Amino acid sequence: MSGKHYKGPEVSCCIKYFIFGFNVIFWFLGIAFLGIGLWAWNEKGVLSNISSITDLGGFDPVWLFLVVGGVMFILGFAGCIGALRENTFLLKFFSVFLGIIFFLELTAGVLAFVFKDWIKDQLYFFINNNIRAYRDDIDLQNLIDFTQEYIPMQVGRGAACHSPAVLKTPRRMSSTLSVATMPGRNQRSTSRS
């Protein structure tokens, strides 16, 4: 049978199975991300009423799991099967897709540096819209709580913090600091302590 077969040098067995093993892990992680995303949507009742996808008030973190999981699944599959079967089409698809992702990340980094003021404004607008929808979506609420709890806010070490509550809070706070010290509230009640 004289078909169009690849007549190049044979790939090393170690490299072949290393790429295969790496992509199997990547493939399974993609499946896990997709599973978590679909499970979260099922828990919120989105899968039983598909039209509710567009009714979400803010950013739904489940979209992040679904998109990242889908891309990881497709890339993992192409790399895994392409490496195992030495399929040049799947390996080229895998390489081109990784190149496109790298180029997009590089472009996003350069554009973020060039348009950093516009990005700050958009990020501020995005965060405010999601804070308004805080009670509407439990996933968004958990994401905002996680961000506030585990990402330390660098205040006083050269980082800019534009929150009025932080800017007007005294340097030495007592353990009895209450909501009354927030700007716009009755501040006479804390002046006695």
Number of domains in the chain: 1
Q: What is the pLDDT of residue 57?
A: 55
Q: How confident is the model at residue 182 (pLDDT cuts 50, 70, 90)?
A: very low
Q: What is the pLDDT of residues 162-173, one digit of tens each?
A: 544 444 444 444
Q: What is the pLDDT of residues 19-62, one digit of tens each?
A: 888 889 989 999 999 999 888 888 877 777 766 666 655 567 78
* Residue 115 in domain: yes
SS (H, E, C) the chain: CCCCCCCCCCCCHHHHHHHHHHHHHHHHHHHHHHHHHHHHHHHHCCCCCHHHHCCCCCCCHHHHHHHHHHHHHHHHHHHHHHHHHCCHHHHHHHHHHHHHHHHHHHHHHHHHHHCHHHHHHHHHHHHHHHHHCCCCCHHHHHHHHHHHHHCCCCCCCCCCCCCHHHHHCCCCCCCCCCHHHCCCCCCHHHHCC
Does the structure show a pLDDT above 70 at 175? Answer: no
Domain containing 98 equals 13-47+59-136
| pTM of structure | 0.58
* Residue 18 in domain: yes
* Residue 102 in domain: yes
